[in-house]
Structure 1
Amino acid sequence: MRPVHRKADPTAAWEIARPSPAPALPGVDMAGFRIRGDSPIDLRAIPHPAVTVAVEFGDRPFSIHGATGPVRSASLAAGLAFSTFQVRAEGIECVQIRLSPLTAHPVLGLPLTQLRGSVVTLDDLWGRDTPRLRERLHRARTWPERFALIDTELSTRLQAGRPVDPEVAWAWRQIVAGHGRTRVSDLAARTGWSRQRMWSRFDSQIGLTPKRAAMLVRFDRAIHRLSRGHTPAQVAADCGYADQPHLHHDVRAFTGTTPTAAAHEPWLAADNTAWPVPRGAA
């Protein structure tokens, strides 16, 4: 086996905080980011199998440039498999939340098909509650206080929201457990639903078809292995791709660039600290 070569972490100077203990809410993970700097910071967001919510509590909002055009906001929500988008800010202070689509559906209060591949301001989803939450985060003195505020907000919304269908939740969990290698053609039969009904309800509530969801889950595992220095040939074989061109095709489809270029994105470099993979899950 070839040795794994690691490059210097471009995010080593960032302050990244993790809640301890981990959030108790199902399908919720969060991390705090403080990135200082006198010049603008440019980050390219990489798709992953979770809905991203970011709440900025500093004095400088994000400037986001994506497929839908520029957005300037102190908070955002990005649906599953969003197109890569550029985030620019002169210093960042925020809590970033990753929501399983099973949790995001009731927490955000809308079918995730309405977020398909897009980035919207959190103000558009939560209205006046968003600036109030930002103000409370700004007044909080520690990361544990901020994480507790987010936990309370999400808990309230989760209890009030409408959950996804049990059949859809089961299908999503099967795809995740199989690292995207699940035979999605079998999912409908195993729930007793027709294929048309499963595809329609899954797409509406998760925001992707089962096939696209499986591609995203598999891509996420592959791109993180690439970012840790594994070769494309090794990653293609380990993650269930037919061959290296198949891996290249999927990486380009989700990131618009090559596996080598995508693997060196700072967005991914921060993941080892912000979103650590459980031992044995890689």
Structure 2
Amino acid sequence: MENQSSATQFFLVGFTISVELQLFLFVVFFAIYLLTLTCNVGIISLVYVNTRLHTTMYFLLSQLSFVEIWYTSSIAPKLLANLAGWKYISFPGCLFQMFFYFSLGSTEFFLLGVMAVDRYLAICNPLRYPSIMNGQVCIQATITCWSVAFISVFFLVLLISRLTFCKPKIINHFFCDIPPLLKLSCQDTFLEEIVVFFFACSIILTSLLITVVSYVLIISSIFKIPSTKGRQKAFSTCASHFTVVTILYGTVIFIYVRPSASYPMDVNKVMNVFNTVVTPLLNPIIYCLRNKDVKEVLKKAKWSRRNGLSYTK
């Protein structure tokens, strides 16, 4: 019993590398973090200012960028502090980080599912699309994504907060992820592990199923389009979203939807860095590079700035 206690502070191991390499990674991750914030704020501003982008598709894209800003902000500052040498985190801080990380991540999955349904309706039901996916429906769907994600994760974190932990309280990770935290508990965590696995499967696989079904219907409808130009135009409207979905689901399924002992923790750390630091930067870049409307708006906005004009259309 002397080795059991209610947790007050945890030590985050982070990356077991040389001090020089940690400083190098600090500079790299800090630059990526600033660039991520800039790109995602830029997309939100572009959608808000430009009337051409006041559609359901771009409203959902701006919501995704908003989630990405807070998603990466729930991890990146603590990661940078860890690389700088401050490796401690309080138990309440650990729970808060865990809550926002999983809440925002779940919201992102739900939004990607809604975006897939939106593309399905736009391509497969173009005549009824404006009446089905109107502004009110879009806002309601977005509120539902946020609400379901935050409420479900709240009860998950509440369950974990009731655990007691053994000394030493060392988390072999750079943030408060659930699997390494459960390993520190003095209690039997079978129930918590089952709940976490069920939560991961229900959130990730349910939203993935919605996305996959939507794209199967989209692809079957596209192949029915007689003209090659029409098929190319239909594919181009889905290319950005499909690329983002593939990257995000691939990394998260690798990390969470598999037996915990399949890969060493160092591999998980690298995949989590890609998921929490790199992916939030890739998403706005992918949408800008592969989306014709966004590229045209950016070109016209750039031309307007050069000529001292205000461009909002």
Same fold (TM over 0.5): no
| Structure (1 or 2) with the greater helix fraction | 2
Whose strand proportion is higher, 1 or 2? Answer: 1
The structure number with the bigger radius of gyration is: 2
| RCO comparison, higher one (Cα < 8 Å, 6+) | 2
TM-score (norm 1): 0.28
> TM-score with structure 2 length normalisation?
0.26
